[in-house]
Amino acid sequence: MTKEVSLEIDLGHLHLKNPIMPASGTFDVRCTLLNENELNRLGAVVVKSIAFKEREGNSEPRTCETDCGLLNAVGVPSKGVEYFIKEELPLLKKANNIIIVSLLGNSVEDFCNLAEYLNKIEEISALEINLSCPNLNNGIPFGVNEDKLYELIFNIKKNTSKPIIAKLSPNVSDIKKMALSVQSAGAEIVTIANTFMGMAIDIDKQLPRLGNNIGGLSGPAIRPIVVRMIWEIAQVIDIPIIGVGGVCCAEDAIEMFLVGASAVQVGSANFSNPYMMLEIITGIKRYLKEQKHNSIQDIIGLIKD
Amino acid sequence: MENPRDINSILTKGKIIEQVNLSNNYHKIKIKAPQIPQEAKPGQFVMLSKWKIKELFLKRPFSFYNIEPNLGTFDILYKNIGKGTQILAESKIGDLVELIGPLGNGFNIPENTRKVAVVARGIGVAPLIPLMLESKKRGIEIYSFLSAQTENLLLCSNKIESISRETFYTTDDGTKGAKGKVTGFLEKILKEIVVDVVYTCGSKRLAKHIRNLQKKYNFLAFVSLEEHMACGIGTCKGCVRKTKYGYKRVCKEGPVFPVEEVIFND
């Protein structure tokens, strides 16, 4: 009998049965096609960013497909934290033992209040801080300024004992500085990266295609840039990296492991194929067997400087 | 409260078994995918791809134009307007497609409905035809009001005439029926008889006219909306339209909405 390969991975204090999870905003436990068994096969579930109070999101149109990608300006609609706890959390508990909650705020205080509020909820495994949503009104996300980034993460840490995952914005000139900043502020894990700011125009109507004019680009178009960023960050930080951006198959995820990601989130590809994450898990196992590795850990960060 | 297990939509493969060019860029395609028509209701839709994810990223939504559970098939009408529909137009009998469906809420036919009107422009008739067939089955009288740029874009008119008590046409160029507003005909009928429900699809302009007539003649009215969709199942929150109750997802809370709930701001 051949030995089953291990996909188990540690992200700081989090122990995952495998390294595949949805990217925030691309998974909703209230309307997934996956049944409970299938949801439990994921390494973790990650919920769409929640805000303290209800927010309605941007005006339509909110999405537009571009070459090899998806531009979105959904604008993080949220029914607020109380709705989340009452309506979503019970379903998430059945779905997976690792629940990662993405947080959104407009100020340090906002984030801290949310973090403190959620700290008492045992079932939440970690908080992912959405530092980079480009769709907010003031247009200046925390994630583009290393001092603001430090201040935010440092203060959130004071309000929660849960592991903090800093989801970085790729819309910066030096991603390494941002990663170092969140590491020194106390983040246990970094997710790299959120969407890239983009724009698309309807040349017949001579108007932007998104209601918000600009939006975030995801999909295969951005993957090589994210792979480069993971590789760069992996050389300078000691905390684990979650890679995300355009992963559409096991091979795409494997690229990210090889350059130093310990886990991979699958984002907008879930929209095309709701079973994508499960297919990727199977594909990674196959790859490891073929390459004669016993564990996913054998291939993480094989490609160095 | 929605529960993952309550969703009866599935991801499945389908086979193209018929492809007909109706007129200009308008096509009809018949797909065999037995589980989908078993569950499908008039007004619902499928997300469809006939491409690999790295060729074209997302699936595209298509309403059911014909649902045949006994044959395990359904039809969709589409206009060839972009990369996805171009690939579809080039497809051959026997080609496979990937489907998620059936999706969305279908049309509601209230109990005790006796007379309905359907109002559509161009390809907007597609999702209304299964509704008309279902209404006919229930003994409901149907009045149809169709408009298009020109005669050969009045799609499926023979079929509609055969189901309807009366059919009215308007074309922009006067090649069939009258020139002018199709809702003008609708108002004439509304003055003469009691129509319980008016259904429409696609055109914001038509829906707005119907909303105005509704205030005057008091009937139920439903519109099937279209919007760009990324996932089709409610996850991405991308396909919203503004309603009296805030943004609603066209794929999940819709695509069919009571006309009076939708805010048409242009």
Give the nearest chain B residue to A252 (CA atoms). Answer: B54
Pairing mode, if any, of strands B45-49 and B96-103? antiparallel
Residues A246-286 pLDDT 10s: 999 999 999 999 999 999 999 999 999 999 999 999 999 99
What is the per-residue pLDDT for B183? 87
What is the per-residue pLDDT for A136? 53
Q: Residues 27-66, chain A: which have Cβ within 8 Å of B?
A: 27-36, 39, 48, 56-57, 59-65
Instruction: Count A/B contacts: CB-CB distance under 8 Å.
Output: 121
**Inter-chain CB proximity A275 and B11 less than 8 Å:** yes
What is the per-residue pLDDT for B181? 82
CA-CA distances (angstroms) from residue A264 to A24, A70, A190, B113?
12, 19, 11, 53
Active site residue A31: no
ipTM higher than the 0.90 cut: yes
d(Cα A299, Cα A256) in Å, to the nearest integer? 10
A83 touches chain B (CB under 8 A): no
Q: How far is B66 from chain A (nearest CA, A)?
A: 24
**Inter-chain CB proximity A268 and B57 less than 8 Å:** yes
CB nearest A61 (choices: B49, B98, B228): B228
Secondary structure element (H or E) that encloses residue A113, with its range:
helix A108-119
Pairing mode, if any, of strands A99-103 and A45-50? parallel
**Inter-chain CB proximity B57 and A69 less than 8 Å:** yes
**Inter-chain CB proximity A70 and B57 less than 8 Å:** yes
**Inter-chain CB proximity B235 and A70 less than 8 Å:** no
More confident residue, B40 or A3: B40
> Which one of the listed residues A64, A68, A112, A133 is annotated catalytic?
A133
CB nearest A31 (choices: B2, B230, B241): B2
Chain B positions in Cβ-Cβ contact with residue A25 (cut-off 8 Å): 236-237
Tokens of residue A296, six digits: 């996913």
Q: Give the pLDDT band (50/70/90) at residue B8.
A: confident
Residues B117-173 pLDDT 10s: 999 998 999 999 999 999 999 999 999 999 999 988 888 889 999 999 999 999 988
Query: Which of A61, A152, A140 lies closest to A115, judged by CA?
Result: A152
Residues A202-257 pLDDT 10s: 999 999 999 999 999 999 999 999 999 999 999 999 999 999 999 999 999 999 99
Q: How far is B165 from chain A (nearest CA, A)?
A: 38
